Amino acid sequence: MKVLLPIAYLGPISYFAIILKAEEVHIESKEHFVKQSVRNRCSILGANGKQTLTIPKQRKSSDKTIIEEIHISNKDKWQKLHWQSIVSAYNSSPFFDYYKDELEYFYNSTFINLFDFNLNLTHKILQLLQEEREMKITTEFQANFSGNDFRNHTFNTEKENKYEQVFNEKHNFIPHLSILDLLFNLGPETEEYLLNLDLNIPTKN
């Protein structure tokens, strides 16, 4: 399976399932930025339910700006706020202490470019999963891709298998969260969960 994905901030569970199942992964770098999408936001599960974390971008006409040219706005301490939210949500999860040091780096270092930040974070997640996957970065925009095109996908799978979440006693199972939710709750079993996820994707060669 050959796939084309948008860049994502701590991508959804199904996003990483697609990467692991694909034979060839391409990441779109030449599209225009798409607002309110995985490109600069992710969802985690806190004590009060689903919580969205959004990376602020520098103000300009982003819908006409190529995604790889989008700059992060660092004037508001978003990294500190995001990390505090992640710690608050997952501090009591089984594998938070196991992975936190590797991830905290991204919230203590200054990043200028959104695409680069997300790409490095995606590589780190794959490294934690012990899955070193080559991801080819597009060099030109193609309206028609000769494979499975996920640039406009919502990444909400219908059949997300339930697993134990931190706040199970307060909430019913909440699907479609960031890969962090799976990683902190399942740890080394994350890879197996992703490979067994039914994505219901038509195959194109």
Domain that holds residue 92: 2-194
The predicted pLDDT at position 34 comes to 93
60-106: per-residue pLDDT in tens? 655 689 999 999 999 889 999 999 999 999 999 999 999 999 999 99
Q: What is the pLDDT of residues 26-48, one digit of tens each?
A: 999 999 999 999 999 999 999 99
The backbone torsions φ and ψ at residue 168, rounded to the nearest 5 degrees and listed phi first, read -55, -35
pTM over 0.85: yes
- Whether 81 is in a domain gets the answer yes
pLDDT tens for 172-196 read 899 999 999 999 999 999 999 999 9
Residue 83 lies in a domain: yes
Domain membership of residue 91 (yes or no) is yes
> Among 116, 140, 141, 122, which residue's Cα sits nearest to residue 18?
122
In a domain, 108, yes or no: yes
What is the tally of structural domains in the chain? 1
State the Cα–Cα distance between residues 83 and 81, nearest whole angstrom: 6
- Residue 202, in any domain of the structure: no
Whether 47 is covered by a domain: the verdict is yes
User: How many Å apart are CA 52 and CA 33, to the nearest integer?
Assistant: 18
State the average pLDDT for the chain.
93
Residue 203 lies in a domain: no
90 found inside a domain = yes
